[in-house]
Amino acid sequence: MERLTYQDESGCYRLSGDLQEAIQRLGTFETLYETIVAEQEDAGAKLSALRLAGKEKTCQARELTGKRLLNANLLSLFRRAGIT
């Protein structure tokens, strides 16, 4: 991926590429972030339903658990980077 920004001496980010492309990438990132948050909530609801049905050890439950762990890790990385 080609960077569209650089960090100056003071730590501020500056634009080094095309403004419209930077806006497009930011919008794409924001959509991705919203998708991850929505998937996290959806997987939680589905897992709760499976637990209530006594199906917490099924393949589907394990896949949802893995997905929640992956999404939680991504969201944690975003928070640590100060993105969210």
Are residues 44 and 57 in contact, defined by beta-carbon separation less than 8 angstroms? no
Q: Mean pLDDT for each 10-residue chunk of the chain (84 residues)?
A: 93 94 95 97 96 95 97 96 88
Q: For residue 13, what is the enclosing H or E element?
A: strand 13-15
1, two tokens: 């991926």
Helix (H, G, I), strand (E, B) or coil at 2: coil
Return the pLDDT at 33: 96
- pLDDT value at residue 23: 95
| Cα–Cα distance measured from residue 81 to residue 14, given in angstroms and rounded to the nearest whole number | 17
What are the domain boundaries of the chain? 5-80
Report the pLDDT value the prediction gives residue 1, as an integer from 0 to 100.
Answer: 83
Q: Which pLDDT does position 51 carry in this prediction?
A: 95
Q: What is the pLDDT of residue 76?
A: 97
Residue ranges of alpha helices (H) inside 1-84 are 19-52, 59-80
